[in-house]
């Protein structure tokens, strides 16, 4: 259903480009810098909770904790826009951009009272292609023919990819180390809305400076993709691997060593409702739903418009 709606919007865009009745206004092309920086949603909630989990583990176990999981920020970014005039100040707008953010983090814990240690290496990467399709209206101010105010609304479509890599080591003694590796790749789309308001000033007939404020309402869920796992047992000298399809879930779980719930964003082949289906040490799972990335922003954009 979501992909069908996106295809419909793209066909509407093609119709306007081919069939729009151009008025005296020129077709224009704009390049702008968007100050928006997204750092919220389930991914940020899980990262903060994961750091709290390690801090609580240290408080209950004598040892040295180093490092933490770092949050991602998707932006700022550059954007290109094409405006096709329709009639009486109204125009059809289509724009696009690209963003990518990646963070690598290593957390290590060394126990004081025994020859034992843990190390967690995690890489999170989010990339996306936002596309906006909408209608705008521009009006020249009466006291200056070079200064315009404009406003616009439309749909905000984002094609997203989320990659997760983890390598966990548990060292017991000097040479015996359990190693668990996991890799996930998820894809999804977000269909939201945007609204913008701004001003542009013609430096010369073909070039204008543009300043605008933009609000985006957009959230993505329904992430699906693939996973691979690799586990090495040093005592059995054996390696176990796995692969398959997974969906991204967000939930809270309670470990056996603490009467506290921690947030989790993780890929699973099936909905993780039973603690027995989860790794050893989990006593309870609650508030299970699809994992979600929040792309909503309020930003200031500065750009240059070229009029042909």
pLDDT tens digits along 179-197? 999 999 999 999 999 999 9
pLDDT tens-digit readout, 226-260? 999 999 988 888 999 999 999 999 999 888 888 89
Check whether 19 has a pLDDT greater than 50. no
Q: Among 42-51, 90-99, 204-213, 277-286, whose mean pLDDT is lowest?
A: 277-286
> What is the total count of domains within the chain?
1
Q: Note the pLDDT of residue 37.
A: 79
> What is the bridge-based pairing of β-strands 99-111 and 116-141?
antiparallel
Please, is 199 exposed, middle or buried when counting C-beta atoms within 10 Å of its C-beta (0-12, 13-18, 19+)?
Answer: middle
Domain encompassing residue 199: 2-307
Query: Max alpha carbon distance in the chain (Å)?
Result: 83
Average pLDDT, the chain: 87
As a whole number, mean pLDDT of residues 52-58 equals: 93
Check whether 15 has a pLDDT greater than 60. no
Q: How confident is the model at residue 10 (pLDDT cuts 50, 70, 90)?
A: low
As a whole number, mean pLDDT of residues 170-181 equals: 88
262 contacts 237 by C-beta, under 8 angstroms: no
Q: Note the pLDDT of residue 16.
A: 46
Check whether 1 has a pLDDT greater than 70. no
Q: Which two tokens stand for residue 207?
A: 């070039």
Q: Note the pLDDT of residue 105.
A: 94
pLDDT tens-digit readout, 130-164? 999 999 999 988 888 889 999 999 999 999 999 99
Check whether 8 has a pLDDT greater than 70. no
């Amino acid at each position: 259903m979501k992909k069908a709606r996106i295809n419909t919007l793209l066909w509407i865009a093609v119709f306007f480009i081919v069939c729009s009745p151009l008025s005296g206004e020129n077709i224009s092309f704009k390049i702008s810098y968007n100050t928006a920086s997204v750092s919220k949603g389930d991914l940020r909630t899980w990262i903060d909770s994961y750091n709290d989990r390690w801090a609580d583990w240290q408080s209950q176990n004598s040892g040295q904790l180093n490092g933490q999981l770092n949050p991602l920020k998707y932006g700022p970014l550059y954007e290109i826009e094409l405006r096709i005039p329709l009639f009486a100040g109204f125009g059809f707008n289509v724009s696009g951009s690209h963003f990518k953010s990646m963070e690598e983090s290593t957390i290590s814990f060394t126990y004081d009272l025994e020859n034992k240690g843990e190390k967690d290496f995690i890489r999170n990467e989010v990339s996306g292609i936002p596309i906006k399709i909408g209608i705008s209206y521009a009006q020249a101010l009466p006291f200056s023919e070079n200064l315009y105010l404009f406003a616009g609304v439309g749909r905000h479509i984002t094609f997203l990819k989320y990659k997760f890599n983890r390598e966990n080591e548990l060292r017991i003694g000097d040479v015996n180390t359990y190693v668990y590796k996991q890799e996930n790749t998820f894809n999804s789309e977000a269909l939201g809305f945007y609204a913008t308001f701004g001003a542009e000033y013609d430096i010369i007939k073909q070039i204008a400076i543009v300043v605008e404020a933009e609000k985006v309402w957009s959230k993505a869920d329904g992430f699906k993709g693939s996973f691979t796992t690799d586990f090495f047992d040093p005592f059995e000298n054996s390696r176990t691997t796995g692969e398959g399809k997974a969906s991204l879930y967000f939930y809270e779980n309670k470990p056996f060593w603490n009467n506290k719930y921690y947030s989790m964003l993780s890929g699973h082949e099936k909905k993780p409702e039973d603690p027995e289906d989860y790794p050893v040490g989990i006593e309870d799972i609650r508030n299970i739903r699809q994992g979600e990335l929040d792309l909503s922003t309020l930003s200031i954009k500065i750009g240059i418009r070229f009029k042909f």
